[in-house]
Protein backbone atom coordinates (compact mmCIF):
# COMPACT_ATOMS: atom_id res chain seq x y z
CA UNK A 1 0.00 0.00 0.00
CA UNK A 2 1.40 3.42 -0.92
CA UNK A 3 2.14 5.91 1.85
CA UNK A 4 -0.48 8.37 0.57
CA UNK A 5 -3.13 5.62 0.33
CA UNK A 6 -2.36 4.52 3.92
CA UNK A 7 -2.57 8.14 5.09
CA UNK A 8 -5.90 8.56 3.32
CA UNK A 9 -7.31 5.38 4.90
CA UNK A 10 -6.27 6.63 8.33
CA UNK A 11 -7.81 10.07 7.80
CA UNK A 12 -10.95 8.43 6.43
CA UNK A 13 -11.40 6.20 9.50
CA UNK A 14 -10.73 9.11 11.84
CA UNK A 15 -13.31 11.35 10.20
CA UNK A 16 -15.94 8.60 9.92
CA UNK A 17 -15.49 7.92 13.64
CA UNK A 18 -16.73 11.45 14.38
CA UNK A 19 -20.08 10.91 12.61
CA UNK A 20 -23.10 9.65 14.56
CA UNK A 21 -25.00 6.97 12.68
CA UNK A 22 -28.43 7.36 14.29
CA UNK A 23 -31.43 9.57 13.72
CA UNK A 24 -31.32 12.88 15.59
CA UNK A 25 -34.69 13.46 17.27
CA UNK A 26 -35.47 15.69 20.25
CA UNK A 27 -31.76 16.10 20.99
CA UNK A 28 -31.13 12.32 21.13
CA UNK A 29 -29.40 9.95 18.77
CA UNK A 30 -31.64 6.96 18.18
CA UNK A 31 -32.05 3.84 16.09
CA UNK A 32 -34.75 3.82 13.44
CA UNK A 33 -38.20 2.55 14.41
CA UNK A 34 -37.77 -0.59 12.30
CA UNK A 35 -34.17 -1.02 13.51
CA UNK A 36 -32.93 -0.90 9.92
CA UNK A 37 -30.00 0.92 8.36
CA UNK A 38 -28.70 1.72 4.88
CA UNK A 39 -25.18 2.02 3.56
CA UNK A 40 -23.39 5.13 2.34
CA UNK A 41 -20.90 4.67 -0.50
CA UNK A 42 -17.73 6.44 -1.63
CA UNK A 43 -18.46 7.18 -5.32
CA UNK A 44 -14.72 7.18 -6.12
CA UNK A 45 -14.16 3.60 -4.94
CA UNK A 46 -17.70 2.17 -4.77
CA UNK A 47 -16.81 0.95 -1.26
CA UNK A 48 -19.23 1.23 1.65
CA UNK A 49 -18.18 3.99 4.05
CA UNK A 50 -20.63 3.26 6.85
CA UNK A 51 -24.22 2.40 7.74
CA UNK A 52 -26.81 4.97 8.82
CA UNK A 53 -30.14 4.43 10.63
CA UNK A 54 -32.93 4.19 8.07
CA UNK A 55 -35.75 6.53 9.13
CA UNK A 56 -39.37 5.43 8.64
CA UNK A 57 -42.70 7.26 8.80
CA UNK A 58 -42.91 6.71 12.58
CA UNK A 59 -39.51 8.34 13.01
CA UNK A 60 -40.51 11.32 10.88
CA UNK A 61 -43.61 11.70 13.04
CA UNK A 62 -41.51 11.52 16.22
CA UNK A 63 -39.24 14.20 14.71
CA UNK A 64 -42.23 16.44 14.03
CA UNK A 65 -43.54 15.78 17.56
CA UNK A 66 -40.18 17.01 18.89
CA UNK A 67 -40.21 20.06 16.60
CA UNK A 68 -43.77 20.94 17.66
CA UNK A 69 -42.91 20.55 21.38
CA UNK A 70 -39.83 22.74 21.04
CA UNK A 71 -41.68 25.38 18.96
CA UNK A 72 -43.14 27.82 21.52
CA UNK A 73 -40.00 28.12 23.68
CA UNK A 74 -37.84 28.53 20.61
CA UNK A 75 -40.09 31.21 19.12
CA UNK A 76 -39.90 33.06 22.45
CA UNK A 77 -36.09 32.82 22.66
CA UNK A 78 -34.55 36.29 22.22
CA UNK A 79 -33.35 36.85 18.65
CA UNK A 80 -29.88 37.74 19.90
CA UNK A 81 -29.59 34.33 21.59
CA UNK A 82 -30.67 32.56 18.42
CA UNK A 83 -28.17 34.61 16.45
CA UNK A 84 -25.37 33.78 18.88
CA UNK A 85 -26.00 30.05 18.50
CA UNK A 86 -25.69 30.46 14.74
CA UNK A 87 -22.55 32.51 15.13
CA UNK A 88 -20.96 29.85 17.37
CA UNK A 89 -21.97 27.14 14.88
CA UNK A 90 -20.30 29.16 12.11
CA UNK A 91 -17.08 29.32 14.12
CA UNK A 92 -17.24 25.59 14.93
CA UNK A 93 -17.71 24.72 11.27
CA UNK A 94 -14.61 26.70 10.33
CA UNK A 95 -12.68 25.11 13.20
CA UNK A 96 -13.64 21.66 11.85
CA UNK A 97 -13.31 22.68 8.21
CA UNK A 98 -10.71 19.99 7.34
CA UNK A 99 -12.78 17.12 8.76
CA UNK A 100 -16.06 18.37 7.35
CA UNK A 101 -14.45 18.78 3.93
CA UNK A 102 -13.01 15.27 3.92
CA UNK A 103 -16.35 13.84 5.05
CA UNK A 104 -18.14 15.59 2.21
CA UNK A 105 -15.55 14.42 -0.31
CA UNK A 106 -15.93 10.84 0.89
CA UNK A 107 -19.70 10.72 0.52
CA UNK A 108 -20.13 13.02 -2.48
CA UNK A 109 -16.91 12.74 -4.48
CA UNK A 110 -15.76 16.31 -5.21
CA UNK A 111 -12.18 17.36 -4.48
CA UNK A 112 -11.24 18.38 -0.94
CA UNK A 113 -10.48 21.89 -2.20
CA UNK A 114 -14.07 22.13 -3.50
CA UNK A 115 -15.40 20.70 -0.25
CA UNK A 116 -13.45 23.27 1.76
CA UNK A 117 -14.96 25.99 -0.38
CA UNK A 118 -18.39 24.55 0.41
CA UNK A 119 -17.65 24.55 4.14
CA UNK A 120 -16.78 28.26 3.93
CA UNK A 121 -19.83 28.99 1.75
CA UNK A 122 -22.21 26.82 3.79
CA UNK A 123 -21.00 28.20 7.13
CA UNK A 124 -21.44 31.73 5.85
CA UNK A 125 -25.22 31.27 5.87
CA UNK A 126 -25.00 30.84 9.65
CA UNK A 127 -22.94 34.00 10.07
CA UNK A 128 -25.24 35.93 7.73
CA UNK A 129 -28.44 34.78 9.44
CA UNK A 130 -26.90 35.34 12.88
CA UNK A 131 -26.84 38.97 11.79
CA UNK A 132 -30.36 38.87 10.28
CA UNK A 133 -31.95 37.30 13.39
CA UNK A 134 -31.91 40.66 15.18
CA UNK A 135 -33.28 42.63 12.21
CA UNK A 136 -36.79 41.21 11.96
CA UNK A 137 -38.98 44.24 12.11
CA UNK A 138 -42.64 45.24 11.82
CA UNK A 139 -44.38 48.49 10.85
CA UNK A 140 -46.64 50.99 12.48
CA UNK A 141 -48.80 53.38 10.48
CA UNK A 142 -51.77 55.68 10.73
CA UNK A 143 -54.59 54.61 8.42
CA UNK A 144 -55.31 56.95 5.46
CA UNK A 145 -58.63 57.92 7.08
CA UNK A 146 -56.78 58.73 10.28
CA UNK A 147 -59.19 56.76 12.47
CA UNK A 148 -57.12 53.59 13.02
CA UNK A 149 -53.56 52.53 13.65
CA UNK A 150 -52.07 49.73 11.54
CA UNK A 151 -49.53 47.48 13.21
CA UNK A 152 -47.72 44.66 11.39
CA UNK A 153 -45.45 42.13 13.02
CA UNK A 154 -43.41 39.17 11.76
CA UNK A 155 -43.68 35.80 13.48
CA UNK A 156 -42.08 32.39 12.83
CA UNK A 157 -44.19 30.29 10.42
CA UNK A 158 -43.91 27.25 12.70
CA UNK A 159 -42.55 23.71 12.22
CA UNK A 160 -40.78 23.23 8.88
CA UNK A 161 -39.84 20.22 6.77
CA UNK A 162 -36.53 20.73 4.95
CA UNK A 163 -35.60 18.35 2.12
CA UNK A 164 -32.13 18.60 0.58
CA UNK A 165 -30.21 17.07 -2.37
CA UNK A 166 -26.84 15.30 -2.47
CA UNK A 167 -24.82 17.73 -4.57
CA UNK A 168 -23.97 20.27 -1.83
CA UNK A 169 -24.42 18.12 1.30
CA UNK A 170 -23.67 20.99 3.68
CA UNK A 171 -24.69 24.26 2.05
CA UNK A 172 -28.12 23.10 0.86
CA UNK A 173 -28.87 22.40 4.52
CA UNK A 174 -27.40 25.56 6.04
CA UNK A 175 -29.26 27.76 3.51
CA UNK A 176 -32.49 26.51 5.11
CA UNK A 177 -31.44 25.80 8.71
CA UNK A 178 -29.78 29.22 9.14
CA UNK A 179 -32.84 31.37 8.35
CA UNK A 180 -35.21 28.93 10.12
CA UNK A 181 -33.16 29.21 13.33
CA UNK A 182 -32.90 32.97 12.96
CA UNK A 183 -36.66 33.32 12.45
CA UNK A 184 -37.50 31.13 15.46
CA UNK A 185 -38.77 28.06 13.58
CA UNK A 186 -38.20 24.42 14.54
CA UNK A 187 -37.58 21.81 11.86
CA UNK A 188 -37.24 18.29 10.53
CA UNK A 189 -34.42 17.84 8.01
CA UNK A 190 -34.46 14.96 5.51
CA UNK A 191 -31.04 14.90 3.84
CA UNK A 192 -30.38 13.02 0.59
CA UNK A 193 -29.99 9.28 0.96
CA UNK A 194 -26.67 9.41 -0.92
CA UNK A 195 -25.07 11.99 1.42
CA UNK A 196 -26.56 11.94 4.95
CA UNK A 197 -23.26 12.01 6.89
CA UNK A 198 -22.50 15.72 6.58
CA UNK A 199 -25.97 16.64 7.93
CA UNK A 200 -25.56 14.32 10.91
CA UNK A 201 -22.20 15.88 11.73
CA UNK A 202 -23.72 19.34 11.32
CA UNK A 203 -26.46 18.49 13.85
CA UNK A 204 -23.73 17.54 16.29
CA UNK A 205 -21.93 20.87 15.78
CA UNK A 206 -25.17 22.83 16.22
CA UNK A 207 -25.78 20.99 19.50
CA UNK A 208 -22.26 21.91 20.60
CA UNK A 209 -23.08 25.52 19.68
CA UNK A 210 -26.03 25.42 22.11
CA UNK A 211 -29.05 24.67 19.91
CA UNK A 212 -31.83 23.44 22.24
CA UNK A 213 -33.22 19.91 21.86
CA UNK A 214 -35.94 19.49 19.27
CA UNK A 215 -35.20 22.67 17.28
CA UNK A 216 -33.41 20.67 14.58
CA UNK A 217 -34.27 17.00 13.98
CA UNK A 218 -32.54 14.95 11.28
CA UNK A 219 -34.10 11.88 9.68
CA UNK A 220 -32.06 10.18 6.94
CA UNK A 221 -34.04 7.57 5.05
CA UNK A 222 -33.81 5.20 2.10
CA UNK A 223 -37.52 5.68 1.33
CA UNK A 224 -38.06 9.44 1.13
CA UNK A 225 -41.66 9.43 -0.06
CA UNK A 226 -42.95 6.92 2.48
CA UNK A 227 -41.05 8.56 5.32
CA UNK A 228 -41.89 12.22 4.88
CA UNK A 229 -45.15 11.81 2.90
CA UNK A 230 -47.34 11.55 6.04
CA UNK A 231 -45.74 14.73 7.47
CA UNK A 232 -46.90 16.68 4.45
CA UNK A 233 -50.52 16.13 5.44
CA UNK A 234 -49.96 16.62 9.19
CA UNK A 235 -51.76 19.84 10.16
CA UNK A 236 -48.99 20.74 12.62
CA UNK A 237 -46.48 21.17 9.79
CA UNK A 238 -46.59 24.73 8.42
CA UNK A 239 -43.82 24.97 5.86
CA UNK A 240 -41.85 22.85 3.43
CA UNK A 241 -38.60 23.96 1.83
CA UNK A 242 -37.26 21.74 -0.93
CA UNK A 243 -34.08 21.74 -2.99
CA UNK A 244 -33.87 19.12 -5.70
CA UNK A 245 -35.19 18.12 -9.10
CA UNK A 246 -38.14 19.84 -10.77
CA UNK A 247 -40.03 16.52 -11.07
CA UNK A 248 -39.90 15.77 -7.33
CA UNK A 249 -40.61 19.45 -6.57
CA UNK A 250 -43.77 19.35 -8.68
CA UNK A 251 -44.97 16.25 -6.87
CA UNK A 252 -44.27 17.78 -3.45
CA UNK A 253 -46.15 20.96 -4.48
CA UNK A 254 -49.22 18.84 -5.11
CA UNK A 255 -48.91 17.21 -1.69
CA UNK A 256 -48.29 20.58 -0.03
CA UNK A 257 -51.44 22.04 -1.61
CA UNK A 258 -53.70 19.74 0.43
CA UNK A 259 -52.29 21.15 3.68
CA UNK A 260 -51.80 24.66 2.24
CA UNK A 261 -48.18 24.68 3.37
CA UNK A 262 -45.90 27.62 2.81
CA UNK A 263 -43.48 26.33 0.16
CA UNK A 264 -40.00 27.25 -1.09
CA UNK A 265 -38.75 25.47 -4.21
CA UNK A 266 -35.11 25.49 -5.34
CA UNK A 267 -35.26 23.29 -8.42
CA UNK A 268 -33.30 22.29 -11.50
CA UNK A 269 -31.47 24.59 -13.89
CA UNK A 270 -30.27 24.76 -17.49
CA UNK A 271 -27.95 27.76 -17.31
CA UNK A 272 -26.91 29.43 -20.58
CA UNK A 273 -23.43 30.96 -20.75
CA UNK A 274 -23.38 33.73 -23.38
CA UNK A 275 -20.14 35.04 -24.84
CA UNK A 276 -20.40 38.07 -27.13
CA UNK A 277 -17.72 38.92 -29.67
CA UNK A 278 -16.79 42.04 -27.67
CA UNK A 279 -16.12 40.02 -24.49
CA UNK A 280 -12.72 39.72 -22.85
CA UNK A 281 -12.12 36.13 -24.03
CA UNK A 282 -9.53 35.34 -21.33
CA UNK A 283 -12.03 36.35 -18.64
CA UNK A 284 -14.80 34.41 -20.39
CA UNK A 285 -12.71 31.22 -20.45
CA UNK A 286 -11.75 31.67 -16.77
CA UNK A 287 -15.41 32.21 -15.88
CA UNK A 288 -16.48 29.23 -18.00
CA UNK A 289 -14.09 26.91 -16.15
CA UNK A 290 -15.64 27.95 -12.82
CA UNK A 291 -19.25 27.99 -14.02
CA UNK A 292 -18.85 24.56 -15.61
CA UNK A 293 -16.47 22.68 -13.35
CA UNK A 294 -17.39 23.83 -9.83
CA UNK A 295 -18.70 20.79 -7.97
CA UNK A 296 -17.73 18.44 -10.88
CA UNK A 297 -20.44 20.15 -12.93
CA UNK A 298 -23.06 18.70 -10.54
CA UNK A 299 -24.58 22.02 -9.61
CA UNK A 300 -27.95 23.58 -10.33
CA UNK A 301 -26.09 26.76 -11.32
CA UNK A 302 -23.56 24.94 -13.51
CA UNK A 303 -23.29 26.42 -17.02
CA UNK A 304 -25.21 23.81 -18.99
CA UNK A 305 -24.71 25.22 -22.50
CA UNK A 306 -22.34 27.74 -24.06
CA UNK A 307 -23.79 30.10 -26.67
CA UNK A 308 -20.87 31.91 -28.29
CA UNK A 309 -20.76 34.59 -31.00
CA UNK A 310 -19.84 32.76 -34.23
CA UNK A 311 -16.80 35.03 -34.76
CA UNK A 312 -15.08 33.83 -31.55
CA UNK A 313 -16.65 30.38 -31.02
CA UNK A 314 -13.79 28.29 -32.37
CA UNK A 315 -11.22 30.21 -30.36
CA UNK A 316 -13.34 30.00 -27.18
CA UNK A 317 -14.06 26.25 -27.55
CA UNK A 318 -10.39 25.48 -28.23
CA UNK A 319 -9.19 27.40 -25.18
CA UNK A 320 -11.87 25.88 -22.95
CA UNK A 321 -10.94 22.38 -24.16
CA UNK A 322 -7.29 23.04 -23.34
CA UNK A 323 -8.17 24.12 -19.79
CA UNK A 324 -10.65 21.33 -19.07
CA UNK A 325 -8.45 18.67 -20.70
CA UNK A 326 -5.60 19.61 -18.33
CA UNK A 327 -7.66 19.12 -15.16
CA UNK A 328 -6.62 16.24 -12.93
CA UNK A 329 -9.30 13.61 -12.34
CA UNK A 330 -9.15 11.20 -9.38
CA UNK A 331 -10.22 10.47 -5.82
CA UNK A 332 -11.21 13.85 -4.41
CA UNK A 333 -9.10 13.32 -1.29
CA UNK A 334 -5.84 12.84 -3.22
CA UNK A 335 -3.44 15.76 -3.49
CA UNK A 336 -3.80 17.84 -6.62
CA UNK A 337 -7.06 16.25 -7.81
CA UNK A 338 -9.45 18.83 -9.27
CA UNK A 339 -12.27 16.63 -10.56
CA UNK A 340 -13.78 13.76 -8.59
CA UNK A 341 -16.24 11.07 -9.68
CA UNK A 342 -19.91 11.64 -10.43
CA UNK A 343 -22.31 10.63 -7.69
CA UNK A 344 -23.43 7.26 -9.06
CA UNK A 345 -23.79 5.06 -12.13
CA UNK A 346 -27.22 6.45 -12.97
CA UNK A 347 -25.82 9.97 -13.16
CA UNK A 348 -22.86 8.86 -15.25
CA UNK A 349 -25.20 6.97 -17.59
CA UNK A 350 -27.27 10.14 -18.09
CA UNK A 351 -24.15 12.18 -18.93
CA UNK A 352 -23.00 9.52 -21.40
CA UNK A 353 -26.41 9.42 -23.04
CA UNK A 354 -26.49 13.19 -23.56
CA UNK A 355 -22.95 13.23 -24.98
CA UNK A 356 -23.77 10.34 -27.35
CA UNK A 357 -26.90 12.14 -28.54
CA UNK A 358 -24.94 15.37 -29.19
CA UNK A 359 -22.23 13.49 -31.12
CA UNK A 360 -24.87 11.59 -33.14
CA UNK A 361 -26.41 14.89 -34.16
CA UNK A 362 -23.10 16.33 -35.39
CA UNK A 363 -21.05 17.55 -32.39
CA UNK A 364 -17.35 16.83 -31.99
CA UNK A 365 -15.60 16.12 -28.66
CA UNK A 366 -12.54 18.41 -28.43
CA UNK A 367 -11.53 16.73 -25.17
CA UNK A 368 -12.99 13.90 -23.09
CA UNK A 369 -16.17 12.23 -24.31
CA UNK A 370 -15.89 8.70 -22.95
CA UNK A 371 -15.72 7.02 -19.55
CA UNK A 372 -12.44 5.62 -18.24
CA UNK A 373 -11.99 1.99 -17.17
CA UNK A 374 -11.83 1.02 -13.50
CA UNK A 375 -13.78 1.55 -10.31
CA UNK A 376 -15.54 4.78 -9.37
CA UNK A 377 -18.11 6.76 -11.35
CA UNK A 378 -15.56 8.88 -13.18
CA UNK A 379 -16.27 10.88 -16.32
CA UNK A 380 -13.65 13.19 -17.84
CA UNK A 381 -14.11 16.93 -18.41
CA UNK A 382 -15.53 17.16 -21.92
CA UNK A 383 -15.94 19.97 -24.45
CA UNK A 384 -18.30 19.44 -27.39
CA UNK A 385 -17.99 21.82 -30.37
CA UNK A 386 -20.50 22.34 -33.15
CA UNK A 387 -23.50 21.25 -31.10
CA UNK A 388 -26.68 21.41 -33.19
CA UNK A 389 -29.85 23.04 -31.88
CA UNK A 390 -31.79 19.75 -31.72
CA UNK A 391 -29.26 18.11 -29.34
CA UNK A 392 -30.90 17.09 -26.05
CA UNK A 393 -27.94 18.42 -24.06
CA UNK A 394 -29.05 21.99 -24.84
CA UNK A 395 -32.46 21.34 -23.27
CA UNK A 396 -31.76 18.91 -20.42
CA UNK A 397 -29.72 19.45 -17.27
CA UNK A 398 -26.48 17.47 -17.82
CA UNK A 399 -25.25 17.64 -14.18
CA UNK A 400 -21.73 16.63 -15.12
CA UNK A 401 -18.43 18.01 -16.50
CA UNK A 402 -19.60 18.46 -20.09
CA UNK A 403 -19.52 21.80 -21.94
CA UNK A 404 -21.51 21.90 -25.20
CA UNK A 405 -20.62 24.90 -27.40
CA UNK A 406 -23.02 26.31 -29.96
CA UNK A 407 -23.07 29.62 -31.86
CA UNK A 408 -25.23 32.70 -32.45
CA UNK A 409 -25.13 35.51 -35.01
CA UNK A 410 -26.95 38.36 -33.23
CA UNK A 411 -27.85 39.64 -29.77
CA UNK A 412 -31.54 38.83 -30.37
CA UNK A 413 -30.64 35.27 -31.30
CA UNK A 414 -28.44 34.94 -28.20
CA UNK A 415 -31.25 36.03 -25.87
CA UNK A 416 -33.77 33.81 -27.68
CA UNK A 417 -31.44 30.80 -27.33
CA UNK A 418 -30.86 31.59 -23.65
CA UNK A 419 -34.61 31.70 -22.98
CA UNK A 420 -35.46 28.57 -25.00
CA UNK A 421 -35.94 26.43 -21.88
CA UNK A 422 -38.58 25.87 -19.24
CA UNK A 423 -35.89 26.49 -16.57
CA UNK A 424 -34.89 29.92 -15.24
CA UNK A 425 -32.33 29.71 -12.47
CA UNK A 426 -29.21 31.55 -13.64
CA UNK A 427 -27.50 32.82 -16.80
CA UNK A 428 -23.93 33.99 -17.40
CA UNK A 429 -23.23 36.89 -19.75
CA UNK A 430 -19.83 38.01 -21.02
CA UNK A 431 -19.62 41.32 -22.87
CA UNK A 432 -17.65 44.54 -22.49
CA UNK A 433 -20.49 46.72 -23.82
CA UNK A 434 -22.41 48.17 -20.85
CA UNK A 435 -25.60 48.94 -22.76
CA UNK A 436 -25.68 45.47 -24.28
CA UNK A 437 -25.04 43.95 -20.86
CA UNK A 438 -28.06 45.72 -19.39
CA UNK A 439 -30.29 44.91 -22.40
CA UNK A 440 -29.38 41.23 -22.22
CA UNK A 441 -29.67 41.03 -18.42
CA UNK A 442 -33.15 42.59 -18.64
CA UNK A 443 -34.19 40.22 -21.44
CA UNK A 444 -33.09 37.00 -19.81
CA UNK A 445 -35.73 34.99 -17.94
CA UNK A 446 -33.81 33.81 -14.86
CA UNK A 447 -33.71 34.59 -11.15
CA UNK A 448 -29.95 35.33 -11.25
CA UNK A 449 -27.33 36.52 -13.73
CA UNK A 450 -23.54 36.36 -13.55
CA UNK A 451 -22.34 39.41 -15.49
CA UNK A 452 -18.73 38.88 -16.57
CA UNK A 453 -18.54 36.47 -13.65
CA UNK A 454 -18.78 32.67 -13.45
CA UNK A 455 -19.90 32.39 -9.83
CA UNK A 456 -23.06 33.91 -8.36
CA UNK A 457 -23.52 32.04 -5.05
CA UNK A 458 -23.19 34.34 -2.04
CA UNK A 459 -24.87 34.07 1.36
CA UNK A 460 -25.61 37.81 1.28
CA UNK A 461 -27.56 37.57 -2.00
CA UNK A 462 -31.03 36.18 -2.82
CA UNK A 463 -30.47 32.81 -4.52
CA UNK A 464 -33.37 31.36 -6.50
CA UNK A 465 -35.11 30.92 -9.81
CA UNK A 466 -38.17 31.56 -11.93
CA UNK A 467 -40.20 29.30 -14.27
CA UNK A 468 -39.51 25.59 -13.64
CA UNK A 469 -36.48 26.43 -11.48
CA UNK A 470 -38.90 27.25 -8.67
CA UNK A 471 -39.60 30.19 -6.39
CA UNK A 472 -38.56 31.53 -3.02
CA UNK A 473 -35.12 32.90 -2.20
CA UNK A 474 -32.31 31.62 0.00
CA UNK A 475 -29.73 34.01 1.43
CA UNK A 476 -29.74 37.80 1.39
CA UNK A 477 -32.26 39.85 3.31
CA UNK A 478 -35.00 37.90 1.50
CA UNK A 479 -33.95 34.50 2.89
CA UNK A 480 -35.44 34.93 6.37
CA UNK A 481 -38.84 36.03 4.99
CA UNK A 482 -39.43 32.47 3.78
CA UNK A 483 -39.69 31.48 7.47
CA UNK A 484 -41.79 34.41 8.71
CA UNK A 485 -45.51 35.18 8.59
CA UNK A 486 -46.87 38.70 8.70
CA UNK A 487 -49.59 39.48 11.24
CA UNK A 488 -51.55 42.69 10.93
CA UNK A 489 -53.31 44.25 13.89
CA UNK A 490 -56.05 46.88 13.34
CA UNK A 491 -56.10 49.26 16.32
CA UNK A 492 -59.12 51.43 16.92
CA UNK A 493 -58.49 54.96 18.09
What is the binding site for ligand NAP (CB under 6 A)? 163-167, 172, 190, 192-194, 224-225, 228, 243-245, 248, 251-252, 266-269, 300, 397, 425, 465, 469
480 neighbors 491 (Cβ within 8 angstroms): no
Q: How near is the Cβ of 269 to ligand NAP at its closest, in Å?
A: 5
37 versus 155: smaller Cβ distance to ligand NAP: 37
Active-site choice (124, 266, 396, 397): 266
> Among residues 206 and 267, whose Cβ is nearest to ligand NAP?
267
Pairing of strands 303-309, 271-275: parallel
163: helix, coil or strand? strand
Alpha helix locations (H) across 96-245? 97-108, 112-132, 171-183, 197-208, 224-232
Q: Is 300 a catalytic residue?
A: yes
187 vs 425, beta carbon nearer ligand NAP: 425
Q: Judge whether 308 and 406 are in contact, CB under 8 Å.
A: yes
Question: Which is closer to ligand NAP, CB of 223 or CB of 485?
Answer: 223
Q: Sign (positive/negative) of CA torsion 260, 261, 262, 265?
A: negative
Of the chain, the end-to-end C-alpha distance in Å amounts to 82
The nearest distance, CB 480 to ligand NAP, in angstroms, is 17
Identify which of residues 165 and 479 has a Cβ nearer to ligand NAP in the complex: 165
Within 184-309, residue ranges assigned H as helices are 197-208, 224-232, 246-258, 281-293
Catalytic residue among 300, 397, 474, 482: 300
**Whole-number minimum distance, CB 116 to ligand NAP, in Å?**
19
Supply the minimum distance, in Å, between the C-beta of residue 244 and ligand NAP.
Answer: 3
CB 151 within 8 Å of CB 488:
yes
Residue number, 246 or 382, with CB nearest to ligand NAP: 246
Smallest distance, ligand NAP to C-beta of residue 398, A: 10
What is the distance, to the nearest Å, from the Cα of residue 331 to the centroid of all Cα atoms in its chain?
22
Give the Cα separation of 292 and 303 in Å (integer): 5
Classify residue 463 by its DSSP letter: B
Report how many helices (DSSP H) and strands (DSSP E) the chain contains, helices first. Answer: 14, 20
Nearer to ligand NAP, 83 or 472 (CB): 472
For the bound state, the minimum distance from the C-beta of residue 399 to ligand NAP, rounded and expressed in Å, comes to 6
What residue number has its CB nearest to ligand NAP? 244
Least CB distance to ligand NAP at residue 186 (A): 19
Judge whether 103 and 201 are in contact, CB under 8 Å.
yes
The b-or-e profile of 306-332 (16+ CB within 10 A means b, else e) is: bbbbeebbeebbebbbebbeebebbbb
Residue 98 annotated to the active site: no
Residue 32 and residue 226: Cα distance in Å, rounded? 14
Catalytic residue positions, numbered: 266, 300
Amino acid sequence: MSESRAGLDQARSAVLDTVPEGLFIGGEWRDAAGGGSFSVEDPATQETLTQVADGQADDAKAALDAAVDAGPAWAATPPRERGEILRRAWALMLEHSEDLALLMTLEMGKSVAESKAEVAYGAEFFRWFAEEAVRVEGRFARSPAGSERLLTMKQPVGPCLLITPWNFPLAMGTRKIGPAIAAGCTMVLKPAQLTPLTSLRLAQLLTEAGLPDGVLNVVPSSSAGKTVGPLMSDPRLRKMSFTGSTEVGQMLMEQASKNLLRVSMELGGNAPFLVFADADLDAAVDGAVIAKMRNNGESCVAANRFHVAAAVAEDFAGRLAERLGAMRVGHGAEDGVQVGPLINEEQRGKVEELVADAVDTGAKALTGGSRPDGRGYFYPPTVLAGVESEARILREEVFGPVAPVTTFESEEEAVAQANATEYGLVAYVYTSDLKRALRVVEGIETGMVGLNRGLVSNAAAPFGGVKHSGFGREGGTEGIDEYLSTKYVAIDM
